[in-house]
């Protein structure tokens, strides 16, 4: 490679890291706890209803899946203050954070937890996680519900 290509790749890599660094924002401890309990509750409900698994058998899978879900939301930027001020921005960032989480959860469940890889469990968990997350998150983040989707009014 010539020096121009190496320099441009270096600038591209640096710009990517800066963008990723700005995107990542961690939730407050109380908000993280609330959302983790929400994801864990949906996981327990899905396990009980679709598989009949006891709570003790779900401790390790809950920990892994909730960690994946929370880290995916962190990477999506849904906890940034400029995002939490608009309900539409929360929904957009939640959607692509949830997409990242879905791909990772499906892969981890299929490889490491095949007992949970049933269609009924996966559908129940993912569908209700998305529904509950997008219902609860605007309430606990202090979102302005009258922002008109982030559009400016004169």
Alpha-carbon span 145 to 25, nearest angstrom: 22
Say what the pLDDT of residue 152 is. Answer: 47
Alpha-carbon span 117 to 110, nearest angstrom: 6
Per the structure, the complete domain to which residue 55 belongs is given by 26-145
Say what the pLDDT of residue 154 is. Answer: 40
The total number of structural domains that make up the chain: 1
Alpha-carbon span 52 to 104, nearest angstrom: 24
The CA radius of gyration of the chain, in Å to the nearest whole number, is: 18
Say what the pLDDT of residue 125 is. Answer: 94
* Inside any domain, residue 55: yes
Global pTM value: 0.79
Alpha-carbon span 28 to 79, nearest angstrom: 9
Say what the pLDDT of residue 77 is. Answer: 86
Alpha-carbon span 35 to 113, nearest angstrom: 23
* Inside any domain, residue 105: yes
Write the DSSP assignment of the chain as a string of letters: --HHHHHHHHHHHHHHHHHHHHH--PPPHHHHHHHHHHHHHHHHHHIIIII---TGGGHHHHHHHHHHHHHHHHHHTTTSHHHHT-HHHHHHHHHHHHHHHHHHHHHHHHHH-GGG--HHHHHHHHHHHHHHHHHHHHHHHT--TTSGGG----
* Inside any domain, residue 109: yes
Using alpha carbons, list the distances in angstroms from residue 80 to 18, 84, 119.
15, 6, 34
* Inside any domain, residue 7: no
Say what the pLDDT of residue 105 is. Answer: 94
Q: Which regions of the chain are under pLDDT 50?
A: 150-154
* Inside any domain, residue 2: no
């Amino acid at each position: 490679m010539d020096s121009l290509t190496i320099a441009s790749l270096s600038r591209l890599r640096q710009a990517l890291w800066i963008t990723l660094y700005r995107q990542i924002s961690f939730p407050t401890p109380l908000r993280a706890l609330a959302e983790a309990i929400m994801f864990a509750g949906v996981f327990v409900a899905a396990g009980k209803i679709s598989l009949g698994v006891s709570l003790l058998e779900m401790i390790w899978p809950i920990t892994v899946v909730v960690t994946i879900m929370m880290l995916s939301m962190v990477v999506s930027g849904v906890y940034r203050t400029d995002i939490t001020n608009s309900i539409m921005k929360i929904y957009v960032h939640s959607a692509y954070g949830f997409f990242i989480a879905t791909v990772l959860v499906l892969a981890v469940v299929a490889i490491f937890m095949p007992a949970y890889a049933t269609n009924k469990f996966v559908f129940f968990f993912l569908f209700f996680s998305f529904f509950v997350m997008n219902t609860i998150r605007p309430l606990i983040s202090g979102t302005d519900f009258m922002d008109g989707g982030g559009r400016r009014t004169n």
